[in-house]
Amino acid sequence: MKKNGKIALLAVWALLQAAVSFSQQDSLNRRHQVAVFAPLYLDSAFDASGAYRYAKTFPKFINPGLEFWEGAQLAIDSLKKEGMAVDIHVYDTKAASKKFMQVLQSLMDTSRHKLDLIIGHVNVNEAANLAQLAAHLNIPFINANLPNEAGVTNNPNYVILNSTLMTHCNGIYKFLQKNYSVSNIIVFRKKGIIEDKLKEYITEVERSTAGIPLKLKYVTLEDNFTLKQLQPHIDSNRTNVCLAASLDAVFGQNLCQQLASVSSSYSTTVIGMPTWDVVDFEKTIYKGIEIFYSTPFYINPSDKLVASVNDHFKTIFYSRPSDMVFRGYETLYHFANLLKLHDKNIGSSLSDKRFKLFTEFDIQPVLDKSLTLEYFENKKLYFVKKVDGQVKAVY
């Protein structure tokens, strides 16, 4: 973002100096209170007088939280136009002047704070602490970005939008079962703790899923593997279905590059991980193979609202909005509307699919082995198919 990011950050800083609440007037309805937490790093970016600390540069670490908040601001604009009676309180999780835990402690006092909903762009520790706050206040906490339960158990107030790794493994297995049930599937992996966890999850899904089990062949590759290590496991007489069982995007890119280099001799379909949504598969080194990956968030470029947001950013910031902008927009808009519709019953109405903006949420309870509710999670997965860098289908 650089200069444009600085302008956006200045706007947020100025806004927070004046107030921490955005209000829409509507005397006929009870005013709902929503807290939004995001890592804005305002104290790091500006000194006490409001002077910007980074001269002409713009630190990349500020981008995710700022982009999420920019999306939330678009939602606020939409809520204003609809006349919704809601106050949006924004908290900078990286503030030095009023630290995150101090804010949470103050919000624990329910006699002074009547929050109805918490939304956050968070890390693991922040997610755990906000889930605890939500349980104390008995209101939903929507974790918008972190695909992790953060050690939270027995907390029906905790909602994970970015589906966990277990959910992806379950979705990928069923996707393979539906489309490649009789194929020989080679599971290429590397050594590592996460890779072992992936294998454990896939095995668990295999044991619990109905239908004919998939024929999975596990192959562990060394770092910097070459085509020579892949060729003994692929067949030139049939379509090879290869599952990349590693979250390491570099591993996935190398696998796709090696398989694409022999696409004239081997027909290959590669199933990747959710981390592949940021990989640039338009490069010619990936030409000739089918690439699939799972994601809980899909932004359709032909959608009218998506085009409108793109035009807005082009006009105001001379840039394109990131996925996190759309995430901030749809999270605040969707759940603020559910709050207005269901009021105190929002916790039991999280599966309501109305008010969709860009992606569809399928929020379901996650139960432990004793059928105790642990938390809620978005179980909706899209499968994006890319060929020669172009999106050919979305399932």
Q: Tell me: the pLDDT tens digits for 290-329?
A: 999 999 999 999 999 999 999 999 998 888 999 999 999 9
Mean per-residue pLDDT, 329-353: 96
CATH class, domain 165-295+383-394, is alpha beta
Q: What is the per-residue pLDDT across 108-119, written as a single tens digit (0 to 9) for each?
A: 876 566 899 999
Amino acid at the residue 360: E
H or E segment to which residue 170 belongs: helix 165-179
Amino acid at the residue 21: S
- With tokens 């444009």, the residue in question is 4
pLDDT of residue 336: 97
Domain extent listing, the chain: 3-161+301-361, 165-295+383-394
Each as own residue / partner, the long-range contacts of residues 307-316 (CB below 8 Å, 24 or more positions apart, any chain) are 309/74, 312/74, 316/4
Q: What is the per-residue pLDDT across 55-67, written as a single tens digit (0 to 9) for each?
A: 566 678 788 999 9
Q: What is the per-residue pLDDT across 355-387, written as a single tens digit (0 to 9) for each?
A: 999 999 999 999 998 999 999 999 999 999 999
239, 207, 242: which is closest to 225 by C-alpha?
242
> Out of 8-17, 23-32, 250-259, 377-386, which region has the weakest mean confidence (pLDDT)?
8-17
Q: Which residues contact 206 (CB under 8 A, 6 or more apart)?
A: 173, 213, 214, 216
Please name the fold of domain 3-161+301-361. Answer: Rossmann fold (3.40.50)
pLDDT of residue 317: 82
| Confidence check: pLDDT of 13 > 60 | no
Query: Of the ranges 41-50, 109-118, 273-282, 295-304, which is most confident?
Result: 295-304
Instruction: Return the number of other C-beta atoms located less than 10 Å from residue 153's C-beta.
Output: 13
- With tokens 């599952």, the residue in question is 243
pLDDT of residue 35: 96
Q: Which residues pair with 243 in a beta bridge?
A: 187, 271
Higher pLDDT, 48 or 42: 42
Q: Dihedral angle at the C-alpha atoms of 103, 127, 84, 327, nearest 10 degrees?
A: 130
Instruction: Grade residue 288 by pLDDT with cuts at 50, 70 and 90.
Output: very high
Separation between Cα atoms, residue 197 and residue 211, nearest integer Å: 23
pLDDT of residue 351: 93
Please report, for residues 76, 80, 117, the alpha-carbon distance to residue 21 in angstroms, rounded to integers and kept in the order given: 11, 13, 14
Do 110 and 45 form a contact (C-beta atoms < 8 A)?
no
DSSP-derived pairing of the beta strands 117-120 and 141-143: parallel
pTM of the model: 0.90
Q: What is the per-residue pLDDT across 80-129, written as a single tens digit (0 to 9) for each?
A: 999 999 999 999 999 888 899 999 999 987 656 689 999 999 999 999 99
385, 387, 366, 390: which is closest to 376 by C-alpha?
366
